[in-house]
Amino acid sequence: MIKSFKTFWKELYELQKEYGKWMKKHWKGFLLLLLSSIIGGELLWFFRDNVKEKFSKKDEEQ
């Protein structure tokens, strides 16, 4: 159990090094994707009543 716990942290450290290298190259795209998903979610929450009306009208037409 203790050995697997130690190897877990070593492997996690190795993965984080690779992730850090990737993030140095692609941080702008990652930030753009993150911000657009947060803003998109907020807009969907703000206009949720309008979205529900649109979908209910489509269901009534069919």
pTM reported for the whole predicted model: 0.58
Q: Beta-carbon neighbour count of residue 47 at 10 Å? A: 12
pLDDT at residue 62 in the model: 65
Q: Cα–Cα distance between 17 and 13 in angstroms, integer?
A: 6
Q: Cα–Cα distance between 43 and 38 in angstroms, integer?
A: 9
Average pLDDT, the chain: 90
Q: How many domains does the chain have?
A: 1
11: containing domain: 2-61
The low-confidence residues of the chain, meaning pLDDT below 50, are none
Two tokens, residue 38: 């947060």
